[in-house]
Chains A and B, each alone.
Chain A
Amino acid sequence: MKFVLIDRITELESGKRVVAQKAVSLAEEYLADHFPKFPVLPGVLIVEAMVQAAAWVVRESLDFGPSLVLLKEARNVTYKSFVAPGQVLTIEATCSALGRQESSFSARGHLAGRDIAKGRLTLRHLTLAETDAGWEPVDQTLRERHRALFRLLWKGCPAGQPAATSEG
Chain B
Amino acid sequence: MATRPREEIFDKVRQALVDALSVEEDEVTEEATLTGDLQAESIDILDIVFRLEKAFNVKISQEELAPRDVLSNPEYLNNRKLNEAGMAALKERVKHADWSRFEQDPDIDKILDVFTVGTIVNFVEDKLASAN
For B20, the chain A residues whose CB sits under 8 A away are: 76
What's the Cα separation between A78 and B46 when bound, in Å? 12
Give B38 Cβ to nearest chain A Cβ, in Å.
Answer: 11
- Contact of A80 with B by CB under 8 A: yes
- Contact of A37 with B by CB under 8 A: no
The count of residues in chain B whose C-beta lies closer than 8 Å to any C-beta of chain A is 6
Q: Is the CB of A78 within 8 A of B41?
A: yes
For B21, the chain A residues whose CB sits under 8 A away are: 76
For B44, the chain A residues whose CB sits under 8 A away are: 76, 78
For A78, the chain B residues whose CB sits under 8 A away are: 41, 43-44
For B57, the chain A residues whose CB sits under 8 A away are: none
- Contact of A151 with B by CB under 8 A: no
CB 8 Å contact bits of A63-78 with B (1 = contact, 0 = none): 0000000000001101
Interface size class of A (residues with CB under 8 A): under 10
What's the Cα separation between A119 and B20 when bound, in Å? 11
Q: Is the CB of A120 within 8 A of B43?
A: no
Q: Is the CB of A75 within 8 A of B22?
A: yes
CB 8 Å contact bits of A148-161 with B (1 = contact, 0 = none): 00000000000000
What's the Cα separation between A106 and B39 when bound, in Å? 13
Give B26 Cβ to nearest chain A Cβ, in Å.
Answer: 15
Does more than half of chain A's interface fall in helix, strand or loop, or is it mixed? strand
Give B85 Cβ to nearest chain A Cβ, in Å.
Answer: 33
* Chain A residue at smallest Cβ distance from B23: A76
What's the Cα separation between A76 and B41 when bound, in Å? 11
What's the Cα separation between A80 and B35 when bound, in Å? 13
Give B30 Cβ to nearest chain A Cβ, in Å.
Answer: 22
What's the Cα separation between A125 and B66 when bound, in Å? 45
Give A75 Cβ to nearest chain B Cβ, in Å.
Answer: 6
B1-60 residues at the A interface, CB under 8 angstroms: 20-22, 41, 43-44
What's the Cα separation between A79 and B42 when bound, in Å? 10
What's the Cα separation between A158 and B85 when bound, in Å? 58
What's the Cα separation between A13 and B41 when bound, in Å? 28
CB 8 Å contact bits of A107-134 with B (1 = contact, 0 = none): 0000000000001100000000000000
What's the Cα separation between A127 and B69 when bound, in Å? 59
The residue from A80, A106, A120 contacting B41, defined by CB atoms under 8 A apart: A80
Query: Would you mind naming 13 contact pairs between A and B with Cβ atoms under 8 Å apart?
Result: A75-B22, A76-B20, A76-B21, A76-B22, A76-B44, A78-B41, A78-B43, A78-B44, A79-B43, A80-B41, A106-B22, A119-B22, A120-B22
Known: A79-B43, A119-B22. 11 other contacts (CB 8 A): A75-B22, A76-B20, A76-B21, A76-B22, A76-B44, A78-B41, A78-B43, A78-B44, A80-B41, A106-B22, A120-B22
The 7 closest A-B pairs by CB, nearest first: A76-B22, A120-B22, A78-B41, A75-B22, A78-B43, A80-B41, A78-B44
